[in-house]
Amino acid sequence: MIAAQDRKIAIWNIGVAYIAFLIGTLCGLLQVFIRNDALQLPAWLDYYQILTAHGVLLALIYTAFFIFGFFVTGMSKTLGTFGPKVWLFSWIGFWVTLIGTVMATVMIVIGEASVLYTFYAPLKASGWYYVGLALYVVGTWISSFALIGHYLVWRKKHKGEMSPLFAFMTIATLVLWLIACLGVVATVLFQYIPWAFGWTDTINVELSRSLFWYFGHPLVYFWLLPAYMAWYLIVPKLLGVKVFSDSLARLSFVLFILFSIPVGFHHQLTEPGISNFWKFLQVVLTFMVIVPSLMTAFSMFATFETSGRKKGAKGLFGWFKMLPWKDVRFTSIFIAMAFFIPGGAGGIINASFQLNEVVHNTLWIVGHFHITVGTPVAMTFMGMTFWLIPYLTGRQFTKSMQTLGFVQIITWTIGMLLMSTAQHILGLLGAPRRTAYSAYNNHPSALEWFDGIVTSHVTMAIGGSILFLSAMILIYIVVMTMFLSPKAVKPEDIIEFPLAESDRESSPKFLENWKIWIGIAFALIFIAYAIPLSSMIQHAPPGSEGFKTW
Ligand code: HAS
């Protein structure tokens, strides 16, 4: 077990993550009913307020705090107990992130920031909302630098050695995060805050959106990579084998640093003001960022196959039966992976320049992110929660908890299948996103959207309710394993951190030469963004004043 002082940081991070998860999923439940016209909100509560809270609390807050909880635990386990400076900065990072989170959440709750998690200008929230967001980012930076410091100390002491795979992957994810945040920091500090406090009258909308998406796309890999860490490092351990290839795993993370950032325009393909050439260039780079996910899929199948063969499996798919289905830690992650097959395929559709015309800003995209971040990432985090909290608290993950864990992941799977399939179909039929329920003056086309069996109001509501039930079961498991389950005393009750071995010394040293990768990443960012961004500044259209539409 890791040192108590490091465990405490991890537990607090995970605790905050699950408070955000609880409120965020409740907002999700309300949303499904409102969007189906089955619920009328009281006058003091607004649909967009709930939608903003849902997006911010689940996509930004739950993920970030959980990820840091996981990183702190794994870095302490693989590189040793934190020194006093790393410990101090991890706490400072945690508190600053939390203060930012609370500020932003309060602004949403009091109705001063119903601008959704993408906070597109010219919608204008209270200036304090943007200050909250800025503090959130600064806090995560402080936590990131603390972990990077811990890694540098280890490297100094282990000159010439490859770092453990967990540490390498953590640093790669943090490097990606630090570079990605530059965009959002620039727009929040230099555009939104002066505008929202009235120091400037107008905002350059195109520039603000482009800087947001410079950040917004790598943001999704900041969520995905910790899930991939579990796929690469935890799954083989549960299967009783080593990591399939240490160098393949490292290379795939390096490719994410290179290609996940200069691609933000694929979220703006329908926007005027950016020439087709730059959009096309970023579409090509988007197709490059698919490669490391395909490498990951390959590596997973190889891991399943190796473990199956080891257990005597025969034939092409014999390994399938040999997988440890009764272990909820594994089954949860396997379902998460399976969801990512259609999730990733949907991403490829979105990224295809012409097809994007069909799906952009429709409910299809909402379906897409529920089967990327909402299941592959979230369900991997759920599967990790089952052992991570008991590992940190020294409590048991009892048999009844294991059974409840299965109920939880199965209900999540059913709920998500119903809801996301409906969203994909509704999107193809033309139903828009980012809007509250509207029948468009009872226009026949709009009414037809909800005529299908899967797309009916009833099915959607059932899907959403099942998801909420599942979330509540998870909260129950979290509370039990955090505070109430019996302490693990007998060796068989003690929960370990299931970390697979990897042949790190077989990997080429240049994979850990960060200067090369960060240098290439900046060169690609420069190529993809320098000219279009400078032209947005030089040929800036008249800016927009702010609008409060709620
Ligand atoms: Fe996306 C919009 C393109 C991946 C999240 N995406 C979004 C939004 C979110 C999001 C939140 O190009 C909405 C933003 C908003 O509010 O406007 N996305 C992609 C592409 C990928 C992709 C090309 N997205 C993700 C991931 C996300 C995420 C991951 C969260 C974690 N996305 C887009 C585009 C848009 C977009 C456009 C803008 C649309 C618009 O017009 O607004 C790729 O990274 C996907 C590559 C993935 C694969 C899948 C590999 C499969 C694996 C599983 C193997 C399974 C195994 C199990 C081993 C190629 C690794 C075996 C199981 C058996 C059953 C046999």
User: What is the chain's mean pLDDT, rounded?
Assistant: 95
Residue 174: its pLDDT value, please?
98
Q: Are 384 and 390 in contact (CB under 8 A)?
A: no
The pTM of this model reads: 0.96
Token pair listed for 45: 């509560």
CA distance 17 to 171: 21
Out of 181-190, 336-345, 431-440, pick the least confident.
431-440
Average the pLDDT over 176-181 and give the result. 98
- Tens of pLDDT, residue by residue over 488-513, are 989 889 999 999 999 998 999 999 99
Distance (angstroms) between ligand 1 centre and the Cα of 221 equals 9
- Tens of pLDDT, residue by residue over 232-245, are 999 999 999 999 99
279 lines ligand 1 (CB under 6 A): no
CA distance 344 to 339: 9
Measuring CA to CA, which residue among 173, 178, 171, 114 is closest to residue 148?
171
Token pair listed for 526: 């420069």
Of the residues 150, 370, 395, 424, only one is catalytic, namely: 370
Flag whether pLDDT at 438 surpasses 90: no
Residue 329 annotated in active site? no
Residue 529 annotated in active site? no
Burial class (CB in 10 A: 0-12, 13-18, 19+), 42: exposed
Flag whether pLDDT at 35 surpasses 80: no
- For residue 458, name the pLDDT band (cuts at 50, 70, 90): confident
Distance (angstroms) between ligand 1 centre and the Cα of 369 equals 7
Average the pLDDT over 26-53 and give the result. 85
Residue 456: its pLDDT value, please?
83
Residue 158 annotated in active site? no
Best probe residue, ligand 1, of 369, 416, 428, 433 (max atoms within 8 Å of C-beta): 369
341 lines ligand 1 (CB under 6 A): yes
Best probe residue, ligand 1, of 223, 365, 373, 420 (max atoms within 8 Å of C-beta): 365
- Closest C-alpha residue for ligand 1 atom 9: 369
Residue 491: its pLDDT value, please?
87
- Closest C-alpha residue for ligand 1 atom 51: 341
Compute CA distances 201 → 122, 189, 361, whole Å.
Answer: 11, 15, 29
Of the residues 244, 433, 468, 497, only one is catalytic, namely: 433
Flag whether pLDDT at 217 surpasses 90: yes
What is the DSSP-derived secondary structure letter of residue 93? H
Compute CA distances 172 → 10, 43, 64, 463, whole Å.
Answer: 20, 46, 15, 36
Atom of ligand 1 nearest to the CA of 216: 14
Phi (first) and psi of residue 168, to 5 degrees: -60, -45
Average the pLDDT over 150-168 and give the result. 96
- Tens of pLDDT, residue by residue over 352-397, are 989 999 999 999 999 999 999 999 999 999 999 999 999 999 999 9
Residue 71: its pLDDT value, please?
98
426 lines ligand 1 (CB under 6 A): no
Measuring CA to CA, which residue among 268, 63, 78 is closest to residue 169?
78
- Tens of pLDDT, residue by residue over 286-344, are 999 999 999 999 999 999 999 999 999 998 899 999 999 999 999 999 999 999 999 99
Residue 504 annotated in active site? no
Contacts of 403 (CB under 8 A, 6+ apart): none
What is the DSSP-derived secondary structure letter of residue 547? B
DSSP annotation string for 409-466: HHHHHHHHHHHHHHHHHHHHHT-BSSS----TTT-HHHHHGGGSSTTSHHHHHHHHHH
Flag whether pLDDT at 42 surpasses 90: no
